[in-house]
Amino acid sequence: MRRHRTTVVPVVLVIAMVCAAFAKAGHATVSSKVPLTSANDGHDTVPVYVNGQGPFPFILDSGADGSAVYQWFADQARLPKLKGKDQDLSGQTGSSKVSMYRIDQLSLAGLSISGVEAFGLPNRRDAGKQAGVLGNDYMDKAVVAFDIQCRHVTIYPKPVDITTVVGRNAQPIKARIDPGTTLLTVPVTVNGFAGVAILDTGSRRTRLTPGFAKGAGIDAARPPFHDDEPIYGTSIIKQVPRVGPIGLVRVANAVFPDATGQVLDLSVLAHDFGRKPAMILGADLIGRYRFVYDHADQTVWFLPSGCSRR
């Protein structure tokens, strides 16, 4: 094209530049706001379509490697079981072997993933009646902004200009991958004592190992700590946590004063972190901020919520 000295070249270049600018702007502004609905067990759910049917209540879970369905829903929807593909699934309280189910399409806010091999979860022991979990396999295709105080999440399909989502001066936090999983971890301190935290929007409560609690000066054996409702996890192993004030939690620029948390010996943390100080940063603390989650880029932001704390 450079051999032809005509006015066509700059016009074409201008058109290309304008188109590129509009395309970039389009990527930056395309988003879908999705309401959060409280379930009976305290989880928040989003409306997900399964094979074009629905919507059904799913937990949007940064603490899930892949998407999953509860057994009652797999049966009701007559999802085909994948023969010979049972998997060992690790949950907070332990591991168990689960069936795998074929789902042609999962869709939230118009963004879909196809050919999903979903974990089959045992039915919940609490009042929750969620149909399933939408995990990092879905969120790899988007930047997701959780604003729990405003009762919504916003889905930004990739590619996206991140500055339009977080602003130019927002401080990014580079996360790491928990070995053997897709879960993101970040350095954390509790009362100045350092450890590592798994970022888990699917966990209603923040949870610490006894070793982390001890290092942070927390004595869960004494009042005001008390027994909380038991948790079961995917292994259906009952554990009774102790719940109470854990003090000041800090992740980079995000500060969580007067935090409450559960203390219990979680096998998933002991296994993954060799009993080093570790915790699960749950939706109760994450929800104090507008939490922007870019799983594929292993980057997160804690920003002021668009709504005041209730």
Check for a shared fold between 33-164 and 166-303.
yes
Other C-beta atoms closer than 10 Å to the C-beta of 2 total 5
User: How much is the average pLDDT of 182-204?
Assistant: 97
User: How much is the average pLDDT of 29-45?
Assistant: 90
Other C-beta atoms closer than 10 Å to the C-beta of 126 total 15
pLDDT digits (tens, 9 = 90+) for 118-160: 999 999 887 678 999 999 999 999 999 999 999 999 999 999 9
| Structural domain boundaries in the chain | 33-164, 166-303
pLDDT at 73: 97
pLDDT at 250: 98
Q: What percent of the chain has pLDDT over 70?
A: 86
Backbone φ, ψ for residue 255 (5° rounding): -120, 130
DSSP type of residue 81: B
Res 19 pLDDT > 50 = no
pLDDT at 222: 96
Q: Is 158 helix (H, G, I), strand (E, B) or coil?
A: coil
Provide the residue type at 148 as one letter.
I
pLDDT digits (tens, 9 = 90+) for 73-124: 999 999 999 998 877 776 665 567 899 999 999 999 999 999 999 999 999 8
DSSP, residue by residue, 194-243: EEEEEE-TT-SS-EE-HHHHHHTT--TTSTT-EE---B-TTTT--B--EE
Res 16 pLDDT > 60 = no
User: How much is the average pLDDT of 32-52?
Assistant: 94
Of residues 65 and 89, more confidently modeled: 65
What's the CA gap between 43 and 49, in Å, rounded? 19
pLDDT at 130: 94
* CATH code of the domain occupying 166-303: 2.40.70.10
pLDDT at 2: 30
pLDDT at 235: 55
Res 175 pLDDT > 70 = yes
Pairing relationship of beta strands 278-281 and 299-303 according to DSSP bridges: unpaired
Q: Which residues contact 52 (CB under 8 A, 6 or more apart)?
A: 105, 107
Which long-range contacts link 177-184 to residues 24+ away (Cβ below 8 Å)?
A: 177/298, 178/272, 179/272, 180/272, 181/65, 181/90, 181/272, 182/65, 182/66, 182/135, 182/136, 182/295, 183/62, 183/63, 183/65, 183/136, 184/62, 184/293, 184/295, 184/298, 184/300
pLDDT at 93: 54
Residue 12 pLDDT class (50, 70, 90 cuts): very low
What's the CA gap between 149 and 88, in Å, rounded? 35
Query: Looking at the DSSP assignment, which residues form a beta bridge with residue 244?
Result: 261
Regarding the domain delimited by 33-164, which CATH topology (the fold level of the hierarchy) does it fall under?
Cathepsin D, subunit A; domain 1 (2.40.70)
pLDDT digits (tens, 9 = 90+) for 229-283: 998 766 567 889 999 999 999 999 999 999 999 999 987 787 778 778 999 999 9
User: How much is the average pLDDT of 198-220?
Assistant: 96
Is residue 118 within 8 Å of 48, Cβ to Cβ? no
Residue 17 pLDDT class (50, 70, 90 cuts): very low
Q: Which residue has the tokens 């799913």?
A: 58
Q: What is the mean pLDDT of the chain?
A: 88
Structure-token pair, residue 307: 């709504």
